[in-house]
Amino acid sequence: MGKPTTEGAGEFAAALNQEPKRRHRVSTTSKVLMLLRELSFHPEGLGVREAARKVGLDKSAVSRMLSQLAEFRMAVQEPHTGRYLIGQSFYAMAATVHRNDSLSFAAEPMLRELSRRYNETCYLTVYEEDAQEVVYADRCESNHVVRCVQEFGHRAPLHASAAGRAVLSAMAPDEIRSKLGGRKLDRYTAVTLTDVEGIVARAGEDQTRGYVISEGDYFREGTAIAAPFFFAGRVCGGALLCVIPQQRCDEVDAAQIGQTVAVAAGYLTLRLGGIPKVTPA
């Protein structure tokens, strides 16, 4: 695990505790950030009128802000069309941030807050498309004597594991059929589902719910709860996972934990530049 960071943890913890949002007027800084965000969403560029409509501001104010951004090369105006695009300085700054970032670093505040809140071991799992598996990439451990610990690099199947099911829940039915059809799907326990059409139906239910609760499908000794996270372009990157040993399963509200894991996955998705399935509070 990388160097501990508090980035995102306070905001996420506040959301979990449902602290009320503070109301404040929209500052000039907020307006500029809104404008930069819209430019980043439109690589083809935006005209002044279109940009003003998208951010809900006066056209003359937007024109001034775009001119100022262009002075700092955070935006650039295309000479033939007059449209504004993200500028060289913005790309350079984004490249620096990306170079110093990693998936584990981004996920750490969410894993830490989930583990702190429930005192259970929580994992970051990564989807490997070529192998059609999820890989355990990072974790925050419970301080209970009895806890569920899986080694880094452990691989789990899509059709049976909670994290794998979370990835499947992000797929369309035909995509699931193409990924799993023709494969030998191992039965890990007496309740492991291996029928592809049954898996498709269950994935639809998981998608509607927003999270997965797996009781004995793959992990025999407890309950596993997972939700998918996404990169930009709605690409599923894997899942956040919380595992509760059998001894404590009767003491927890699995649905409530599932909702919280889905919120955490939503925050991770935002952190990675994606659009969350579950919008964080």
Look up the CATH number of the domain holding residue 83.
1.10.10.10
Residue 226 or 94, more confident: 226
The number of distinct structural domains making up the chain is 2
User: Which tokens sit at 210?
Assistant: 């927003």
pLDDT tens by residue, 251-273? 778 899 999 999 999 999 998 88
The Cα 9–Cα 7 span in angstroms is 6
Write out the residue range of the structural domain in which residue 35 sits. 28-96
Mean pLDDT of 95-110: 80
Which residues have CB under 8 Å from 156's CB, separation 6+?
125, 133, 134, 135, 136, 163, 164, 218
pTM of the model: 0.69
**At 153, is the pLDDT very low, low, confident or very high (cuts 50, 70, 90)?**
confident
**At 10, is the pLDDT very low, low, confident or very high (cuts 50, 70, 90)?**
low
Look up the CATH number of the domain holding residue 256.
3.30.450.40
**At 276, is the pLDDT very low, low, confident or very high (cuts 50, 70, 90)?**
confident
